[in-house]
Structure 1
Amino acid sequence: MHAVRSLRSLSAVAVTLAALGLPAAPAVAAPAVTTVAPAAVTAPATTVTVTGAGSASAAPDLAVLTAGVEVTEKTADKALAAQSSAADALLAAVRKAGVADKDVTTEGLSLSAVHQDEDGATKLTGYQASQVFSIKIRAVDRTGAVIQAVVDAAGDAARVHAVAFDLADAGALRAEARGLAYKDAHDKAAQYAKLSGRRLGRLVSLDESDGGRPRPVPMPVAAFAKEGVPVAPGQLQDEVSVTAVFELR
């Protein structure tokens, strides 16, 4: 009897809402249930991390001579004139020795007063003028001859500061060292794979440590030039190290 009354009450409410022009309450749908399948668990790959080192050397094909002139005169004008004359002679000699104009660069030019202490007082005694050149010698076997030509041409004003040997293009030397470094790392990883009873898989990562520019290595001193000042160019060496990670299957 109570259930009948409840139904009548609900019907009366619906009739009242309809009479007022209001929509009836919407039916409530049951919530949807979504089933998510558990993700597959992948075991992490077994890897081996190794380091490799590679070293390559080559004979230099370029010499860089740092040389110039330096003179001292009573006046600034005379010092500059003497310096210019000595520099012209130096450049002419270098050019005659086979060095191209494009390979000669002025690295420094200076004019300064020279003072001396006399009886506790500083006295101006003259002026010093100098000029320094960077000279690239691409025919390395002519290095000694070029140095001698500089000294002969500029005389007492000549100044030879340094000579360094280099490679005009160090890319090939770096590529050789890099290849040797990778081979060293790969061989080590293959050995570890064999020792562990596995096969060597793919390369996962590779990091390179720069060994810097090629540098001279000690070599026996010998007369390098056929004429002129003897010098020993030695060899240049480049080094590369890598850290590699390989998968083990």
Structure 2
Amino acid sequence: MRTATLLAIGALAAAAAPVAAQTAPSVPAETLLSLSATGESTRVPDIAVISAGVVTQAVEARAALTANNSQMTRVVAALKKAGIADRDIQTSNINLNPQYTYEERKAPQLIGYQASNTVTVKLRKLASAGDVIDALVTQGANQVNGPSFGLDKPEEATNEARLDAVKKARTRADLYAGAAGMRVKRIVSITEGGGYQPPYPMPKMMVQRESADMAAAPPIEAGEVGTNVNVTVVFELQ
């Protein structure tokens, strides 16, 4: 009877052995390499964005706003006369603020009001950008910001940057694999980060109305704009 019991326990242990083996941690069969790379593409810009504004001051709020409206109407008319389409002219900011004078040990004194109105303009003919700015100032704009250059249709440049990013990642993967005595077998995944276009400064020009009448059209140099795309690529090595 005791012998039978021992045999039964031995059989149960033998049956349990494969289950214990199945729960042991598994070792991945493949070697993975994850790399990030940035692809770049440059183009000559075909659009420029500027903002043009009118700032007026008066003792009464309505007078400041009325003068501003009249001046801004001439500015917008000058844009349209220069061939700028309605879709490329957008009001971006309107302000009316009280103006105070401050003296020591005295309460602030209201001295008038300042009104401002700003439009954002997209220029599609860069060769005429200087003439457009000159026309704006001639018609009453006393604030000009920009230009900021870009691409109207950036898809082609973005795709070129994507190809460059993947090519850089693959070159680097071959380098690492060779150093480890392996080779790249395949790409497991590709993840794209956000496309990025380096910001270009928009210098602010405060134009005095008296001297603006005698000023020539400012020279505009477009240079180049760049588009960057970041990708993360996972490679399988063997």
TM-score (norm 2): 0.73
**Aligned equivalent of 1:200, options 173, 184, 194:** 184
* Cα separation, 2, equivalents of 1:77 and 1:46: 74
* Cα separation, 2, equivalents of 1:124 and 1:244: 63
CA drift at 1:106: 0.9
| Residues 213-247 of structure 1, C-alpha deviations (whole Å, 9 max, x = no match) | 34349xxxxxxxxx711133322112223332222
Residues 43 and 162 of structure 1: CA distance in aligned 2, closer, same or farther (over 3 Å)? closer
**Aligned equivalent of 1:95, options 47, 72, 80:** 80
What SS class does the counterpart of residue 229 from structure 1 fall into? coil
**Aligned equivalent of 2:50, options 58, 65, 82:** 65
Residue 232 of structure 2 aligns with an amino acid whose one-letter code is: T
**Aligned equivalent of 1:45, options 9, 17, 30:** 30
Would the aligned equivalents of 2:148 and 2:200 in 1 still touch at CA under 8 Å? no
CA drift at 1:153: 0.8
* Cα separation, 2, equivalents of 1:246 and 1:121: 71
Q: 2:209 corresponds to which residue?
A: none
Q: 1:162 corresponds to which residue?
A: 146
* Cα separation, 2, equivalents of 1:161 and 1:195: 52
- Aligned length in residues: 204
**Aligned equivalent of 2:109, options 123, 145, 158:** 123
Residue 93 of structure 2 aligns with an amino acid whose one-letter code is: G
1:136 aligns with 2:122: yes
Q: State the structure with more CA Rg.
A: 1
What SS class does the counterpart of residue 144 from structure 1 fall into? helix
Q: 1:27 corresponds to which residue?
A: none
* Cα separation, 1, equivalents of 2:183 and 2:102: 81
Residues 117 and 240 of structure 1: CA distance in aligned 2, closer, same or farther (over 3 Å)? closer
Q: 1:222 corresponds to which residue?
A: none
Q: 2:219 corresponds to which residue?
A: 230
CA drift at 1:99: 0.8
Q: 2:98 corresponds to which residue?
A: 113
* Cα separation, 2, equivalents of 1:116 and 1:188: 64
Would the aligned equivalents of 1:215 and 1:238 in 2 still touch at CA under 8 Å? no
Unaligned runs of 5+ in 2: 1-14, 202-215
CA drift at 1:91: 0.7
Higher relative contact order (CA 8 A, sep 6+): 2
CA drift at 1:204: 1.2
CA drift at 1:193: 4.2
* Cα separation, 1, equivalents of 2:145 and 2:183: 58
Would the aligned equivalents of 2:45 and 2:224 in 1 still touch at CA under 8 Å? yes
* Cα separation, 2, equivalents of 1:215 and 1:114: 34
Identity, % of aligned positions: 34
CA drift at 1:172: 2.0
Would the aligned equivalents of 1:72 and 1:129 in 2 still touch at CA under 8 Å? yes
* Cα separation, 1, equivalents of 2:38 and 2:113: 55
* Cα separation, 2, equivalents of 1:115 and 1:60: 44
CA drift at 1:137: 0.8
Unaligned runs of 5+ in 1: 1-34, 218-226
| Residues 188-214 of structure 1, C-alpha deviations (whole Å, 9 max, x = no match) | 223444555554312112233335334
